[in-house]
């Protein structure tokens, strides 16, 4: 079993969650040479549009656009992401295999229950992955993640911090556009919020977060722990 030490491992319930919430951040840190992985907990088999195979192809294209070096898809049930020891074990096993410094997950408050449940599962798994006697099912050594942060999907919450993605908003949009089955309305499309200007709504949100921070575009994140600033408070390194 190959172990790859990632800088960032971002989890989502479905392929496109990470792209919606933090695609610009992925592209930004990938451009800086950071190794980033994305893990989708489900195959999105309950999606109203598209198919599992098409979603897999779109996810691979989006990961390439953003510069992620790893994309994993677990086989947890779409619309069945409840706290379950077996699910926690699988996610903890991935954390131990990829040994990320930082983990991202969806924010708990979201209109789609799978997103909040994904956050709870990832939080449990990150904690368990650091426990020596926890059985992750793959025999790998414990790993302690430095931080876990939460990105927004459908919500518009006051962020605890933002990341300037002004130079990477085009990459974020391109990553979202890779999911043509989800965001482009076709003759056979089922009516969902995603096929009715969703990408434009995401752009507007990131523009608002950017405006509040004094930049063009930014992605907002939540954290349960206070942030430690290493730079001078006046902005000098």
27 compared with 2, residue with greater pLDDT: 27
- Those residues whose C-beta lies under 8 Å from the C-beta of residue 27, and which sit 6 or more positions away, are 65, 66, 67, 165, 168, 171, 172, 175
pLDDT band at 50 (very low <50, low <70, confident <90, very high): confident
Q: Is it the case that residue 219 has pLDDT exceeding 60?
A: yes
* Per-residue pLDDT band at 223 (split at 50, 70, 90): very high
Cα torsion through 23, 26, 29, 33, rounded to 10 = -130
> How would residue 214 be classed by pLDDT, with cut points 50, 70 and 90?
very high
Summarize the confidence of residues 224-237 as an average pLDDT: 72
Q: What is the reported pLDDT for 232?
A: 64
CB neighbours of residue 74 within 10 Å: 15
What lies within 8 Å, CB to CB, of 112 at 6+ separation is 13, 153, 154
Mean of per-residue pLDDT scores for the chain: 94
pLDDT reading at 195 higher than 90? no
CB 42, CB 77: distance < 8 Å? yes
Distance from C-alpha of 108 to C-alpha of 15, rounded to nearest angstrom: 18
Residue 78 confidence (pLDDT) above 60: yes
pLDDT for 237 beyond 50: no
- pLDDT tens for residues 119-168? 999 999 999 999 999 999 999 999 999 999 999 999 889 999 999 999 99
- Which structural domains are found in the chain, ordered by start? 8-222 (3.40.50.10320)
Q: pLDDT at residue 87 above 90? A: yes
Q: Which residue has the higher pLDDT, 90 or 192?
A: 90
* Confidence bin at 236 (pLDDT 50/70/90): low
Give the residue-averaged pLDDT of 39-61. Answer: 95
Residues present in the chain in total: 237
pLDDT in the model for residue 120: 98
Residue of 20, 42, 16, 202 lying closest to 114 (CA atoms):
42
- The pLDDT of residue 128 is 98
Q: What is the pLDDT of residue 231?
A: 64
pLDDT of residue 159: 97
pLDDT at residue number 144: 98
Q: How many whole angstroms separate alpha carbon 218 and alpha carbon 160?
A: 12
Place of tokens 């599992």: 52
Q: How far is Cα 141 from Cα 97, in angstroms, rounded to an integer?
A: 9
Give the C-alpha separation, 21 to 27, whole Å. Answer: 12
């Amino acid at each position: 079993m190959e172990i790859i030490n990632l800088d960032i491992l971002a989890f989502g319930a479905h392929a496109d969650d990470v792209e919606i919430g933090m695609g610009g951040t992925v592209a930004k840190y990938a451009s800086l040479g950071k190794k980033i992985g994305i893990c989708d907990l489900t195959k999105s088999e309950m999606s109203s549009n598209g198919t599992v195979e098409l979603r897999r192809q779109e996810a691979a294209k989006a990961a390439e656009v953003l510069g992620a070096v790893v994309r994993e898809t677990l086989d947890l049930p779409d619309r069945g992401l409840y706290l379950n020891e077996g699910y926690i074990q699988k996610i903890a096993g991935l954390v131990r295999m990829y040994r990320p410094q930082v983990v991202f997950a969806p924010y708990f408050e979201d209109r789609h229950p799978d997103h909040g449940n994904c956050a709870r599962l990832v939080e449990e798994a990150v904690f368990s992955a650091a426990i020596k006697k926890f059985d992750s099912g793959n025999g790998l050594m414990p790993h302690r993640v430095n931080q876990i942060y939460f990105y927004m999907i459908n919500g518009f919450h006051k962020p605890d911090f933002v990341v300037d993605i002004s130079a990477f908003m085009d990459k974020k949009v391109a990553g979202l556009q890779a999911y043509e089955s989800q965001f482009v309305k076709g003759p056979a499309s089922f009516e969902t919020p995603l096929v009715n200007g969703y990408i434009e709504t995401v752009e507007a949100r990131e523009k608002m977060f950017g405006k509040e921070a004094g930049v063009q575009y930014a992605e907002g994140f939540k954290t349960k722990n206070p942030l430690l600033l290493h730079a001078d408070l006046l902005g000098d390194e």
